[in-house]
A and B are shown apart, each in its own frame.
Chain A
Amino acid sequence: MAAEASTGMNERVIRVRLKRQDGPDARPRWESFDVPVGTGSNVTSVLQWICAHPVTVEGKNTTPPVYDSGCLEEVCGSCTMVVNGRVRQACSALIDHYCPKDGDELTLEPMTKFPVVRDLSVDRSRLFSNLERMRAWVPVDGTYDLGAGPEETPEAQQTRYVLSTCMSCGCCLEACPQYTLETDEEAWDRAFVGAAVISQARYFNMHETGSSLKKVRLTELSGPGGVSDCGNAQNCVNVCPKEIPLTESIAAIGRQVTAHNIRQFFSGD
């Protein structure tokens, strides 16, 4: 872990306002820190610095703030939080962008659609649980040697590739007006699954072997919490760091669900 929050160029001090919460049931509170930064600093390096120097602007010793991080290159999805009012990854949030001048203010808050664990760390298990609900996998016959997978055109690969870069970060869910905080695990099967999971259903439905579970997925998505809960606000697609075409996915699944419902109606099962 780096003790320096910057690379030594364009040195300045910024004021960081941090929303803190000691535990899931604790009352949130605010603390502020003055942090030296420079070119190359990002929100994660600022948090690293605060952890090593946990003293507020009032000179009060406090506990090192709790936050999640992993790859530090915007590919693991760990560090999602609300930076100056907008949800994004902390590690790729460059301080030069947010706080170009000495004394500029930076506000950090946890996401609001997931239960807070502590400070900036939230519990996103619901997202993973919904992937399970959606059978988000290709049902292979096992690991024995059965030759290559289905052939694929470069165009199809490019479409699937983009969908496959979803890192379950939760930005699209935080931004979605239809996705709301749900702490009761029992309710996860009925509450709106959100754009990320709908897009994953599309991804697996596109794969030759993956599509053998298409019916099951579409049945899930035509019920409560499925695609019809989407209000088409398009907030999701605007915040996705991987630029996944989420509204396209929602439309594609919408069509698949309609076709599926018609088929179900006529076949009667």
Chain B
Amino acid sequence: MAGASQQQRVIVVGGGLAGLAAAVRITEGGIPVDLFSIVPVKRSHSVCAQGGINACNDIARQQGYSEHEHFDETIYGGDFLAHQPPVYEMAQMAPRIIDLLDRMGVPFNRTAEGQRDLRLFGGSLYKRTHFSGATTGQQLMYALDEQVRRAEAAGKVHKYEHWEFLRPVLDEMGACRGIVAQDLRTMQIRAFRADAVVMATGGCGLVFGQSTNSVMCTGAAASRCYQAGVKYANGEFIQVHPTAIPGADKLRLMSESARGEGGRVWVPGKKDASGAWGPHPQPGMDPRQIPDEDRYYFLEERYPAYGNIVPRDIATREIFNVCLEGMGVGGGRMVYLDLSFKPREELERKLGGIMEIYRKFVGEDPCEFPMKIFPGVHYSMGGLWTRYTPKSDLRGLEKGAPGNMMTNVEGLYAFGEVNYQYHGANRLGANALLSCIFDGLFNGESVVNYVRDNAHAPASAVEQGLYAGAEQIEGDKEKDLLARDGDQNVYEISAELGDEMTEASTVIKTGERLQRAIDKVAELRDRYRRIGVADASMWTNQALSFAKSVGDMIAIGDAILRGGMLREESRGSHYRADHPERNDERFLKSTIAEFDPQSKTASITFEDVEVGMVEPRKRTYGKIEPASGQKAGAKTEPAGASN
């Protein structure tokens, strides 16, 4: 291909939606890709996504919806913390992304007439979510996986599956020239050359112990970049999904589509003479026997416009609070999510995948019984800091500009959940799949252009010493880890980290509690130095890989806590009980964490948010306070446009 020498290559780390879309776009631009993933790419975490993917469409458009409205909702949903130009570009491209996926054969649900069907999702009053049963992520993943297999067959992609990324290789100018990775079977540590590297390694749910994420979502890869000098931004913004099924090993998600398709959230309750709700006298009774007047549909009562489809941070806090007020099911930490009043046939057709998950893991049929759910850690809005080149009027991005979604390290990009763009302080449901694929397709072009116009010598010309040195560092680190013969159990350290992070830094935070958590993490860091690894073999040593990740999870946990500590305000998912109001003057800013190698902790600074078109306004979603009945001010809500 003209302009691209045969020797130029790009490394993509991660084969979820973001990584696969990037591989497709970059190879289409004529540059071969080496694709690294811990698991076979087809098994990446993105397969878990259930509900759908947002985009403006013809029906919604005729009801007054538009790309601009999608953009506005995303900014409002994210409590104005997202930089606006990238979000604008994403909303513009969304309909074309759906078309492309459609062409790739994704079996999107259809209407009777054969059009793509749509459903309602949180934070919008319009049906603008495209879906494929309740396994949308799986279907999108497979379509892209197939395209990458096709590119692989044509020799354009080389897959390194069962390989784990350990560190970026930076030259003396600080530019990224490749990576060090480890073969998870032979345990060989090896450096690879690349003219650019795209990190697409997903989120960090496991830092919180139990979450809705897959077991690979440790955040270790992002942490390794952060410890190598990449900025980590908005780490404290962690989405806690309102409706998960509590479990021993995982919190299994009950998708927002359950509410989008009409699911109602309630708890057993009793109204007193003044009309105020209190606990039900028999909170543990068979829910099917509870009459309607004793069902407290608290989201519908408190948010008449959005009802059960308020954004996630709001639903989560309301569920949490209702349980704190003693009104949870059985007096505990659980509320009902009810679909049992809907026809079985419709539930199976539209939500079969998640109905099945509930049946399989709880052993009750949600077509008969209301489901018992509680919030669970779900998504990281924060991540590796990236820059971009806006258009001069701030309406979107300069297409193909090499800086789009590049981190502060030259030549090192971050795509998908691992970057911090698009979702601000709270992500809207069904916007993540979109942002992942958008990153790959739109910003993949930027990678191609960076490689083509590279002012540096090609990676193939970099002296071998740089790579040998990087390999050596990782080899020494591993030797040191294996030589530790301490009494500390690394699985216990990770469990304690998860518990502490969940208690201190999820739904309700305070400065005092965060400080205690920072101290606890320091203690864990110290104990980590005294672990013993129970397996010394050099063949598929999962215990060693896990032990490595735990050290990196501790580092990222610290960054998340310190950001939350200094952000003395409440915004989106970040709720500080000691600072309950949003404070634009001090904190309409991104939090930037930089790793200090001396103290091994984060130092935090703040950077202005690029506002652009939408001025920050109060974010209330038309809430009616349960006591006063006062409707708080909101943007004009389009009325009844939800069909």
Which residue numbers of A lie inside 8 Å of B, CB to CB? 1-7, 22-23, 38, 40-42, 44-45, 48, 51-52, 54, 61, 63-64, 66-78, 91-92, 94, 96, 117-118, 121, 124, 128, 131-132, 135-140, 142-143, 145-149, 151-154, 157-158, 160-161, 164-165, 167-168, 204, 207, 209-210
CA A2 to CA B494, docked complex, whole Å:
8
Check B104–A157 contact: CB distance below 8 A: no
Pick from A7, A38, A66: contact of B246, CB below 8 A.
Answer: A7
A165 touching B138 in the complex, CB below 8 Å, given contacts A51-B543, A117-B185, A148-B99: yes
CB of B4 within 8 Å of the partner chain: no
* Binary interface encoding of chain B residues 241-252 relative to chain A, with 1 for a CB under 8 A from any of its CBs, else 0: 000001111101
Q: How far is the CB of B527 from chain A (nearest CB, A)?
A: 15
Counting chain B CB atoms within 10 Å of each CB, the highest count among A44, A121, A143, A204 belongs to A143
**Cβ-defined contact, B138 with A154, below 8 A:** no
A-contacting residues, B70-116, CB 8 Å: 96, 98-100, 102-105, 107-112, 114-116
* B66 CB to nearest chain A CB (Å): 18
Write the nearest CB–CB distance from B472 to chain A, whole angstroms: 27
A210 adjacent to B210 (CB under 8 Å)? no
Give CA–CA (A152, B256) in the complex, Å.
Answer: 26
In Å, the complex CA distance between A168 and B40 comes to 11
User: In the complex the two chains form, is B209's CB within 8 Å of A2's CB?
Assistant: yes
In contact, A152 and B114 (Cβ under 8 angstroms): yes
Interface centre among B43, B361, B441 (most CB of A within 10 A): B43
Q: Which of A40, A70, A152, A168 contacts B45 (CB 8 A)?
A: A70
From the candidates A1, A168, A210, name the one contacting B494 in the complex (CB within 8 A): A1
- Tell me which residues across on chain A come within 8 A of B210, comparing CB atoms: 2
Contact between B215 and A70 (Cβ–Cβ < 8 Å)?
yes
Residues of A within 8 A of B360 (CB): 74, 92, 94
User: If the complex has contacts A2-B495, A132-B149, A157-B109, are A143 and B28 also in contact, measured as CB distance less than 8 A?
Assistant: yes
**Which residue on B lies nearest to A63, using beta carbons?**
B535
Verify A118–B138 contact, CB threshold 8 A.
Answer: no
**Is there contact, CB below 8 Å, between A75 and B542?**
no
User: In the assembly, what is the distance between CA of A173 and CA of B427, in Å?
Assistant: 40
Within 8 A of A (CB), among B427-465: 441
Determine the chain A residues whose CB is within 8 A of the CB of B108 once the complex forms. Answer: 157
The segment from B139-147, B271-279, B508-516 found at the interface with A is: B139-147
Indicate if the CB atoms of A52 and B99 lie closer than 8 Å.
Answer: no
The CA of A154 and the CA of B360, in the complex, are separated in Å by 27
With both chains docked as a complex, state the minimum distance between the C-beta of B431 and any C-beta of chain A, in angstroms.
20
Instruction: Supply 13 A–B pairs (Cβ within 8 Å), ascending by A.
Output: A3-B495, A5-B248, A38-B248, A64-B534, A70-B44, A76-B43, A124-B40, A131-B146, A148-B103, A161-B139, A164-B107, A165-B138, A167-B42
Which A residue's beta carbon lies closest to that of B109? A157
**Does B214 lie at the interface of the complex (its beta carbon under 8 Å from any beta carbon of A)?**
yes
Check if A52 sits within 8 Å of B489, measured CB to CB: yes
Report yes or no: A42 in contact with B99, Cβ–Cβ below 8 A: no
CB distance from A210 to the nearest CB of B (A): 6
**B-chain residues with CB within 8 Å of residue A75 when the two chains form the complex:** 47-48, 135, 138, 353
Question: Judging by beta carbons under 8 Å apart, are A138 and B361 in contact?
Answer: no
CB atoms of A136 and B146 under 8 A apart: yes
Query: Across chains A and B, which 6 residue pairs bring their CB atoms closest together, nearest first?
Result: A52-B491, A149-B102, A137-B146, A45-B249, A3-B495, A138-B105
B contact set with A: CB distance below 8 Å:
24-25, 28, 39-40, 42-45, 47-48, 96, 98-100, 102-105, 107-112, 114-116, 132-133, 135, 138-139, 142-143, 146-147, 149-150, 152-153, 185, 206, 209-210, 214-216, 246-250, 252-253, 349, 353, 357, 360-361, 363, 441, 489, 491-492, 494-495, 534-535, 537, 539-540, 542-543, 546
For the complex, give the distance between the alpha carbons of A75 and B48 in Å.
7
Shortest CB distance B135–A (Å):
6
Which A residues lie within 8 Å of B109 (CB)? Answer: 154, 157, 161
Closest A residue to B111 by beta carbon equals A154
Contacts of A164 in B (CB 8 A): 107, 132, 139, 142
Residue on B nearest A1 in the bound complex, by CB: B494
Tell me, rounded to whole Å, the shortest Cβ–Cβ distance linking A253 to chain B. Answer: 18
Complex Cα–Cα for A64 and B540 (A): 11
Q: Are B248 and A146 in contact (CB under 8 A)?
A: no
Contact, CB under 8 Å: B25 / A7: no
Q: Complex Cα distance A139/B153, Å?
A: 12
Complex formed: what's the CA distance from A142 to B537 in Å?
45
A143-B100, A210-B105 given; A66·B248 CB < 8 A: no
Inside 8 A of A61's CB, which chain B residues have their CB? 534
Q: Which residues of B contact A91 (CB under 8 A)?
A: 249-250
Say whether A118 contacts B540, CB under 8 Å: yes
Are A140 and B114 also in contact (CB < 8 A) when A22-B537, A160-B107, A165-B138 are?
Answer: no
Closest Cβ of chain A to B17, distance in Å, is 14
Highest count of chain A CB atoms <10 Å: which of B116, B135, B250, B492 = B250
Complex Cα spacing A69 to B546, Å: 13
Asked whether A128 lies within 8 Å of B540 as measured between CB atoms, the reply is no
Kindly identify which residue among A63, A67, A145 contacts B96, using a CB–CB cutoff of 8 Å: A145
With A4-B248, A51-B543, A118-B540 in contact, is A143–B24 under 8 Å at CB? yes
Partner of A207, one of B105, B138, B494: B105
Chain B residues, Cβ within 8 Å of A69: 215
Taking a contact as CB atoms under 8 Å apart, the answer to whether B249 and A147 are in contact is no
Closest to B149 in A: A132
Q: Which residue of B lies closest to A5 (CB)?
A: B248
Using Cβ atoms and an 8 Å threshold, which residues of chain B touch A77?
42-43
For the complex, what is the distance from the CA of A92 to the CA of B363, rounded to whole Å? 11
Chain B residues with Cβ below 8 Å from A149 are: 99, 102-105
CB-based contact A44/B107 at 8 Å: no
Kindly report which residue of chain B lies nearest to residue A23, judged by CB atoms.
B539
CB pair A45–B537 under 8 Å, yes or no, is: no
Q: Once the chains bind, are B247 and A151 in contact (CB under 8 Å)?
A: no
Q: Are A136 and B48 in contact (CB under 8 A)?
A: no
Q: Which residue of A lies closest to B147 (CB)?
A: A137
Whether the Cβ atoms of A151 and B48 lie closer than 8 Å is: no
Query: Do A42 and B114 have beta carbons less than 8 Å apart?
Result: no
Residues of A within 8 A of B112 (CB): 154
Chain A: CB-nearest residue to B540: A118
Taking the closest CB of chain A, its distance from the CB of B507, in whole angstroms, is 20
**B246, A92: Cβ atoms under 8 Å?**
no
Residues of A close to B43: CB separation below 8 A = 70-71, 76-78, 167
Cβ of A247 to closest chain B Cβ, rounded Å = 21
Chain A positions within 8 Å of B99 at CB level: 145-149
